[in-house]
Amino acid sequence: MEKREVILSTRSLGKYFYDPIKFKVLDNISFNAYKGEFLTLVGKSGSGKSTLLYCLSTMDTSYEGELFIGQERVTGKKVNELAALRNRSIGFIFQFHYLLPEFSCLKNVMIPALKLGKYSYKEVEERAYSKLDVLGIRDQALKPAAKLSGGQQQRVAIARALINDPAIIMCDEPTGNLDSRNTRIVFDIFKQIAHEFGQTIIAVTHDNDFAEASDRTIELADGKIISHDKNFDTYL
Amino acid sequence: MRHNINSDIALTHIITRKRQTLVAALGVTLGVGVYLFMNSLTSGFSSFSRDEMFKNSAHIKIYKDDELSQPLVPSAGSGHITVIVNPQVTTLSKKIINPEQLLSTIKQQPFVVNAISQVSFDAFYNRGKAQISGDCSGVNILDYDAMFKTSKYIVGGSLNRLQGNLNGIIIGSGIAEKLNLGIDDNITVTSSYNVVKVMKIVGIFTTGSSLTDNAKSYMNISTAQQFIKEGPSYVSNIFINIPDPNKSEEYAASLQQLTPYKVEDWKTTNADVLASGKTRDVLMSSIAMSILVVAAFGIYNILSSTIAQKINDIAILKATGFAGRDVIRIFLMEALIMGLIGTLIGLIIGAVLIEIMSNIYMGGPVGYFPIRFEPALFAKSFGLGVFITLCAGYFPARKAARVDPVEIFRK
Ligand SMILES: Nc1ncnc2c1ncn2[C@@H]1O[C@H](COP(=O)(O)OP(=O)(O)OP(=O)(O)O)[C@@H](O)[C@H]1O
Ligand SMILES: [Mg+2]
């Protein structure tokens, strides 16, 4: 198999929590994520998945080791640079959809793009409509975000994560709150994003079927990577 | 124009929380309105009482001060001090020597707007057995009018009739009433030097201040000099007006270089009145200021609670790439909008109060309440209203900027 482009990588990432007692929540985490890969992080509750994801997301900067996004060393950058980097290159989807309730779905999707300022307002609006279209909720665009069902809200959140065409999309239990039908929809969308649009997805999940069907699964236990699964070797 | 997402978000917050916005704005309205009104009150009253002062006294006056007797021999060497026990006032006469030359030197100073000399003395006005004591000023009446606008108060006769009329006198309406005298009637004036003259009334004035109206009169300088048995070189005061009365100390100091006589500015002369005026101003300003501060707390409170409720949104914004400074801008903008709404309404309310107040008749020499629209005060209230809301908004905004999204998402 040909060598694929590395989008994100960590070198011996480690992190401590000091409260209530000092303990190592992440220990020597080193892995690569590749372009167009649908990657899942699994592990028992408390194994450090969310903590790792927050470090990868650049929102948590208190770790040791190094983080690279694209070719860039992210570790040690200033908070404002990191904010701009997130805006440009990382999309987020959370378990709780976290839309801004007083804005319409459309506006929620548009906000990161308006912040980016690369396109005019009109263009951003068009792009937002087309993302909502991809997710099958174009007809909900002008409704207030709070008036949608859980599954619909999650899809708006996905559209928002996609609006700036980020290289990486990170999700913490994106289907944790969804029924099996909506989980299926989200899963299909992720597959499409990764395989058709070539964006990398890093998703924390408890759902075994979900992980099973992804391209690759990394399993954590007590803050350490205990297994790169079946497909791991094909990437080396 | 590039779309500004920060102000978009701020506006949406404001619009979706109309009630809180209004409450915060009303606090500012109250603060700014009261601030503007109270400051207009004090300012109107101060300028009224200052105008009252300048009716009779100039910005700066020069006179001969009393001197205490000094030792003739200066102390010889250190360790010895020569003193006079029980020193006496040595002033023989209050006269200013060579006043013509001093006056012309003063007039040559570029900053002097107007300078006049005056001869004043204590006078008794008699008609038959009736007698009123008062004081009389010998002046060049037209020069005097240029400085004190006396013509405004003339109710009978005219200033011009005094010009060159060595026998003429202009008296206060109180004197005229008490002695039952009118224009062209004769009045007997006596000085403390026992000079008695029968003068002709050529004018009557009413200033509204009974103290002045019941005692004051004007005549020509040379007539006044005769009353105190002095020659034409005698002058008791020189009055000087300057462009900006607020800077009177500086001008007085530079005039003092020109003459050994006492140069005194109006602030020194009226120190007691000014001090009580200042006390009143400070009192009113601090009340107004504290109301503004309370209003600021309203903004602080409402913004803090907005931020507490919107902490998830803030975390989301930060996760999607909004920097701390963007968050600060968003919430400062909200504070600013609340502040602007409140300030503008406050200015309108202040203006209405001023309008109402200016139509209240106080009677006496005051007439209508001395309050005016002062653009400077409007500008100051506006600036202060906005400034104080920005300050009040900054602290919650900074707190919002420091929200750690990771902490929020973990919950
Ligand atoms: N702010 C914190 N301070 C101290 N310890 C923390 C903090 N956040 C998390 N931990 C601890 O770190 C460990 C890893 O937490 P993390 O949330 O990453 O687990 P997780 O794998 O995401 O679990 P779950 O599947 O339940 O979401 C846990 O033991 C947790 O108790
Ligand atoms: Mg977790």
pLDDT tens digits for B39-49? 998 888 888 88
Q: Which chain A residue lies closest to B408 (C-alpha atoms)?
A: A98
Tell me the chain A residues in contact with residue B405 when contact means C-beta distances shorter than 8 Å: 59
What pLDDT shows up at residue B77?
A: 64
Q: Report pTM.
A: 0.77
Quick check: A233 pLDDT over 50? no
Mutation for A interface: B309, B316, B322, B410, most A CBs within 10 A: B316
Shortest Cα–Cα distance, B7 to chain A (Å): 11
Q: How many CB atoms lie within 10 A of CB A59?
A: 23
Task: Report the CATH number that the domain containing residue A124 is assigned in CATH.
Answer: 3.40.50.300
What pLDDT shows up at residue A182?
A: 81
For the Cβ of A162 lying below 6 angstroms from any atom of ligand 1, the answer is: no
What pLDDT shows up at residue B101?
A: 83
Range A175-186 average pLDDT: 83
Helix, strand or coil, per DSSP, at residue B265: strand
What pLDDT shows up at residue A66?
A: 92
Nearest Cα residue to atom 5 of ligand 1: A17
Chain A positions contacting chain B at CB under 8 Å are 50, 54, 57, 59-60, 79-80, 83-88, 92, 94, 98-103, 111-112, 114-117, 120-121, 124, 160, 172
Residue B62's pLDDT band, with cuts at 50, 70 and 90, is confident
How many percent of chain B have pLDDT more than 90? 33
Return the sign of the alpha-carbon dihedral for residues A136, A139, A145, A149: negative
Residue with tokens 């839309």: A99
H or E, element range at B306: helix B271-309
Domain count, chain A: 1
Segments making up each domain of chain B, as ranges:
2-53+273-410, 60-66+93-268
Contact A187, A181 (CB under 8 A): no
Helix, strand or coil, per DSSP, at residue A200: strand
Contact between B409 and A86 using a beta-carbon 8 Å cutoff: no
Shortest Cα–Cα distance, B3 to chain A (Å): 6
- Domain presence at residue A199: yes
Among all bound ligands, the one having the nearest atom to the CA of A47 is 1
Contact A216, A39 (CB under 8 A): yes
Contact A67, A105 (CB under 8 A): no
* Residue range of the domain that includes A209: 37-63+78-228
pLDDT tens digits for B15-42? 988 998 898 899 899 999 999 999 998 8
Q: Which residue has the higher pLDDT, B71 or B329?
A: B329
Residue A1's pLDDT band, with cuts at 50, 70 and 90, is very low
What pLDDT shows up at residue A55?
A: 93
From residue A27, alpha-carbon distances to A24, A46, A65, A204 in Å are 6, 14, 10, 18
> Could you tell me the distance, in angstroms and rounded to a whole number, from the CA of residue B288 to the centre of ligand 1?
53
Quick check: B269 pLDDT over 90? no
Residue with tokens 């009389």: B136
Lowest mean pLDDT among A70-79, B238-247, B361-370, B379-388: B361-370
Strands (DSSP E) along B41-140, which ranges?
Answer: 60-63, 114-127, 130-138
H or E, element range at A81: helix A79-89
pLDDT tens digits for B148-201? 888 888 898 888 898 888 899 999 999 999 999 989 999 999 998 889 999 999
Quick check: A235 pLDDT over 50? no
What pLDDT shows up at residue B370?
A: 86
Among all bound ligands, the one having the nearest atom to the CA of B406 is 1
Q: Which residue has the higher pLDDT, B53 or A64?
A: A64
Residue B68's pLDDT band, with cuts at 50, 70 and 90, is low
pLDDT tens digits for B338-350? 999 999 999 999 9
Quick check: A231 pLDDT over 80? no
pLDDT tens digits for B143-163? 888 888 888 888 988 888 988
Quick check: A97 pLDDT over 70? no
Whole-number Å distance between alpha carbons of A30 and A92: 22
Q: Which residue has the higher pLDDT, A84 or B2?
A: A84
Q: Which chain A residue lies closest to B313 (C-alpha atoms)?
A: A100
Range A90-100 average pLDDT: 84
Quick check: A236 pLDDT over 60? no
Torsions phi, psi for B152 (to 5 deg): -60, -30
pLDDT tens digits for A192-221? 899 988 999 999 998 888 888 888 999 998
User: Do the strands A200-204 and A168-172 form a parallel or antiparallel pair, or are they unpaired?
Assistant: parallel
Nearest to B322 among A83, A121, A172 (CB): A83
Whole-number Å distance between alpha carbons of B344 and B8: 22
Range B128-144 average pLDDT: 89
What pLDDT shows up at residue A164?
A: 92
pLDDT tens digits for A125-176? 999 999 998 888 889 889 998 888 888 888 899 999 999 999 999 998 888 8
Q: Which chain B residue lies closest to A100 (C-alpha atoms)?
A: B313
Strands (DSSP E) along B79-215, which ranges?
Answer: 114-127, 130-138, 154-157, 168-172, 186-191, 196-205
What pLDDT shows up at residue B235?
A: 85
Quick check: A232 pLDDT over 60? no
Quick check: B1 pLDDT over 70? no
- Domain presence at residue A132: yes
Q: Which of A88, A107, A109 has its CA nearest to residue A165?
A: A88
CA–CA–CA angle B295, B299, B300 (5° rounding) = 110
What pLDDT shows up at residue A234?
A: 45
Quick check: B92 pLDDT over 70? no
Contact B54, B245 (CB under 8 A): yes
Helix, strand or coil, per DSSP, at residue B402: coil
What pLDDT shows up at residue B78?
A: 67
Q: What is the 3-state secondary structure (H, E, C) of A99-160?
A: CCCCCEHHHHHHHHHHHHCCCCHHHHHHHHHHHHHHCCCHHHCCCEHHHCCHHHHHHHHHHH
Q: Is B411 exposed, middle or buried (0-12, 13-18, 19+ CB in 10 A)?
A: exposed
Which residues, 6+ apart, have CB-to-CB distance to B411 below 8 Å? Answer: none
Mean pLDDT score across all residues of chain B: 86
Exposure string for B348-374, b = 16+ CB within 10 A, e = fewer: ebbbebbeebeeeeeeebeeebbbeeb
Range B203-216 average pLDDT: 88
Helix, strand or coil, per DSSP, at residue A59: coil
Instruction: Give residue A157's Cα distance to chain centre.
Output: 11
What pLDDT shows up at residue A83?
A: 93
- Domain presence at residue A125: yes
Quick check: B90 pLDDT over 70? no
Helix, strand or coil, per DSSP, at residue B401: helix
